[in-house]
Structure 1
Amino acid sequence: MLTGRKYRLEFDAGQQLTAERIAAVCRSAWNTALEQRRAYRRRGAFIGYAEQCRQLADAKKDFPWLAEAPAQALQQTLKNLDAACRRHGTWTVRWKTRTRWRPSFRFPTPKHIPVQTINRRWARVFLPKIGWVRFRLSRPLGGTVKSATVSRDGAHWFIAFLVEDGQCTPQVHARPETAVGVDRGVITAAVTSDGEFFDRRHATATGVSCPEPPKEGKAERAAEQGYLTPGETERYVRLQRRLARATKGSARRRRVVRALGAIMGRVRRRRADFTAQAAHRLTRDYAHVVFEDLRVRAMTASASGTAEAPGTRVAQKSGLNKAILDKGWYGLEVAVRAKARYTGSVVSTVPAAYTSQTCSVPACGRVDAKSRESQALFRCTACGQVEHADVNAAKCVKIRGQAAGPVVSGRGDCGGARVGEASSTRSTARGAPRVAA
């Protein structure tokens, strides 16, 4: 199956400038091609990938700077734009601005990017228009290279290889009868129906977690809730104040932005490491993983509103949005789906409505908001069941996943779903929940 391998490149000064120019040319090609598509749509016409590639070849005669980028990288940019427009619509696809865009370009042909191993720690790759570049061989490629994407993250450049590793998805999971429900939250990143807590703040525990005493100081409290250390939190706050005082467009402001980006880059890597480890545990131990069907992008939308209709409780909503994004809800689900390809696990989603208010005892099933006495305590008002609120919600998620019927295995036996993925089940009822007697 296809998988990714990402390594850090060691550009010299000249190669780094060349990579910057190639990325800038690809960004210009994307924006120009997008504007052309929109101009055609305004006239009621259409232009596709093939015609834009032909026009790009002609444009190189009038604009020599287009030749600074490899032809395959420019063609891949147009192909990516065509796929984005077909999937999201021409008017929904965004521009690639200079300030909010991560420079990147892709080489889709493997014969143009040969890879050679230098020793146990280093290897090198040939990139068109750039030349041979060393990269740190932090892990073996483990397969045949199909394509490569070069991108910049902060002050460093990376290369991501698409590799065919020769492995196949198992027909049956090692523990085929196991299933688990996963509840995601802002206090604990993920809690399973078996009482396992996944969070970077403390070691994974089984059973009802014992909250640790709060730490003193603003930086310590902020670090306790996320991936920043106390020292990083203090530095981040100081840099934000410097950013507010800096003049837009100044060199000082650019330095502050780079320093902020370096801190948040470490946060992203820690979050990715956590989600990868949690996904490995879940797919290794369970054949069926059930998540709540959460629309994270809609849930983290701003509540500021417009000038005519300003929003309410904007500060509270902003804090909630930051907590949700910091826990990496969507990243955890993506990581589980990726890992499921190697274990044969099935990943499905169920409606999230009222899972935190429903009693997980099958004979009860009472739905009552008063049962959730606090963030961590659930006490059913009907049967008196007492349990950790997140564990109870995870059990409700598991029950809904099992009640949805046989899930699609993703291995071709139920009609062509993707590997390790099951069809989402959605509730059709929009009324109030039924309260069991």
Structure 2
Amino acid sequence: MLTGRRYLLAFMPEQAAYAETVGAICRAVWNTALEQRREYRRRGAWINYSEQARQMAEAKKDPDCGWLADAPSHTLQQTLRDLERACKTHGTWKVRWRSKTRTAPSFRFPDPEQIAVRRLSRRWGEVRLPKFGPVRFRWTRPLGGVIRNATVSRDGGRWYISFCVEDGVAEAAPNGKPPIGVDRGVAVAVATSDGGLDDRAFVTRGEAVRLKRLQQRLSRSLRVHGRNHGSNRRDNVRAEIGRLNARIRHRRVDFAAQEAVRLVRGHGLVAVERLRIKDMTASARGTVEQPGRNVKAKAGLNRAILSKGWGGFLLKLEHAARYHGAKIEKVNPAYTSQTCNACKHVAPESRKSQAVFRCVACGHQDHADVNAAKNILAAGLAVTGRGDLGATRSAKRQPSARLTA
């Protein structure tokens, strides 16, 4: 299977400056190619990767575009391939621009023959990249397979390299262990149908105070010549905020990875809700004609949802399930928090508070998130046993009791 290995790079100062240059060139190629695709769509035409790659090769010969030749050619071609895949998946008009201030520089080397890795010591390794030469990185774990490609990116002021590796491991067979339901929440990150409540504070109290002060300093710092050109003080504050957010993000990723492995190791089926996080965290600001209501409360809820990393946790679950023989079943989230797991009565009044669920019909009482996780598990078992009733799947039904008797 294909998997990833991420390591911390130890760039020399000139290599770090060159990496910034390559990232800026790839960002310019992405934005220019995206605008070209949109202009073609306005005219009712279409342009593909092959034509854009040919035009980029011609542009390198132009003295005004000679800066394109400063970057490795394969990274620019891979940028165009990534753009074409994004346009085919999401549509040309929904693909986002790459911002200088909001998008971290990143570029990929797709040819494994141009990537040479060797181990220097117990803690250090070396990778040779086109136009970079030898670059040292922290050897924190073995590669464990054949390298397919490598991606260099900056995160929180540090540079990392991510290898896509073919580890040669086949997908594990079903492990036959008991199923479990998982409810992703705001107050508690992960609640399971067996009564487990797992959470972690990703931000300490001191970090929250510091982050707020840094944001205040950022808002007061001087802006020069427009929105994207600020003073050195503003750039330094933004760098501090980026480092602090990276530390928080790493804790969130670590928690999601550990929880995912724990769940798939001990269970053969993990049922989760099919949540549309992008729609759930949409702004309630509204328009001038129809302004939104409770905008501040909705913004706070959006921040709380995003701070728990629901989407990243699901990705970790799906990745770990391949190695441990577990199945991830996504179910419809409708009424899972309002349904009594004991009598199946649906009533919003049964949820007395964020943590207390007391059924108004039968009096059953349970933790609200655990009750929802039990409903999610029941829905997952129903889908697994009888099949999805959607038009794209066949209705697999369990044999009736008369035939099995």
TM-score using structure 2 length = 0.92
8 A Cα contact 1:188 1:199, kept in partner: yes
Tell me whether 1:272 sits opposite 2:247 in the alignment: no
Distance across 2 between alignment mates of 1:187 and 1:407: 33
8 A Cα contact 1:348 1:407, kept in partner: no
Distance across 2 between alignment mates of 1:338 and 1:405: 20
Tell me whether 1:94 sits opposite 2:96 in the alignment: yes
Which runs of 5 or more residues in structure 1 are unaligned? 201-225, 409-416, 418-422, 426-437
8 A Cα contact 2:184 2:310, kept in partner: yes
Give runs of aligned pairs for residues 187-226 of structure 1, distance below 5 A. Answer: 187-200=187-200, 226=201
8 A Cα contact 2:157 2:242, kept in partner: no
Tell me whether 1:368 sits opposite 2:347 in the alignment: yes
Distance across 1 between alignment mates of 2:43 and 2:274: 40
Say which of 274, 277, 284 aligns to 1:303: 284
**Which letter maps to 1:178?**
P
Deviation (angstroms), 1:177 = 4.5
Give runs of aligned pairs for residues 43-58 of structure 1, distance below 5 A. Answer: 43-58=43-58
Give runs of aligned pairs for residues 246-285 of structure 1, distance below 5 A. Answer: 246-248=221-223, 249-285=230-266
Distance across 2 between alignment mates of 1:134 and 1:54: 34
For residue 346 of structure 2, give the secondary structure of its aligned residue in structure 1. coil
How many residues align structurally? 382
8 A Cα contact 2:183 2:373, kept in partner: yes
Give runs of aligned pairs for residues 164-203 of structure 1, distance below 5 A. Answer: 164-173=166-175, 176-200=176-200
Larger CA deviation: 143-152 vs 365-374: 365-374
Distance across 2 between alignment mates of 1:352 and 1:234: 35
For residue 135 of structure 1, give the secondary structure of its aligned residue in structure 2. strand
**Which letter maps to 2:307?**
D
Q: What is aligned with 2:372?
A: 393
Q: What is aligned with 1:242?
A: 217
8 A Cα contact 2:30 2:80, kept in partner: yes
Q: Please identify runs of 4+ aligned residues in structure 1 that moved more than 3 A.
A: 405-408
Q: Deviations over 1:56-94 (max 9, x none)?
A: 111110021111011111110110011111111111111
Distance across 2 between alignment mates of 1:252 and 1:172: 56
Tell me whether 1:404 sits opposite 2:383 in the alignment: yes
8 A Cα contact 1:5 1:160, kept in partner: yes
- Aligned identity (percent) is 53
Q: What is aligned with 2:401?
A: none
Deviation (angstroms), 1:332 = 1.0
Q: What is aligned with 1:215?
A: none
Distance across 1 between alignment mates of 2:361 and 2:239: 56
Deviation (angstroms), 1:329 = 1.2
Shift in alpha-carbon separation, 1:83–1:276, aligned structure 2, 3 A = same
Tell me whether 1:60 sits opposite 2:69 in the alignment: no
Q: What is aligned with 1:312?
A: 293
Say which of 72, 75, 91 aligns to 2:74: 72
Which runs of 5 or more residues in structure 2 are unaligned? 224-229, 396-405
For residue 187 of structure 2, give the secondary structure of its aligned residue in structure 1. coil
Distance across 1 between alignment mates of 2:76 and 2:169: 32
Distance across 2 between alignment mates of 1:292 and 1:114: 42
Distance across 2 between alignment mates of 1:343 and 1:243: 46
Shift in alpha-carbon separation, 1:172–1:127, aligned structure 2, 3 A = same
Deviation (angstroms), 1:406 = 3.6
Deviation (angstroms), 1:302 = 1.0
Distance across 2 between alignment mates of 1:303 and 1:332: 25
Q: Deviations over 1:141-181 (max 9, x none)?
A: 111111000001122111000011111111221xx151111
**Root-mean-square deviation (CA), in Å?**
1.6
Q: What is aligned with 1:349?
A: 330
8 A Cα contact 2:181 2:272, kept in partner: yes
For residue 58 of structure 1, give the secondary structure of its aligned residue in structure 2. helix
Distance across 2 between alignment mates of 1:313 and 1:133: 51
Say which of 324, 342, 361 aligns to 1:382: 361
Q: Deviations over 1:317-345 (max 9, x none)?
A: 11111111111111111110010010111
Deviation (angstroms), 1:375 = 1.6
Distance across 1 between alignment mates of 2:304 and 2:25: 37
8 A Cα contact 1:242 1:256, kept in partner: yes
Q: Deviations over 1:95-127 (max 9, x none)?
A: 112112110100001110100110111000011
8 A Cα contact 2:156 2:245, kept in partner: no
8 A Cα contact 2:217 2:237, kept in partner: yes
Deviation (angstroms), 1:407 = 8.1
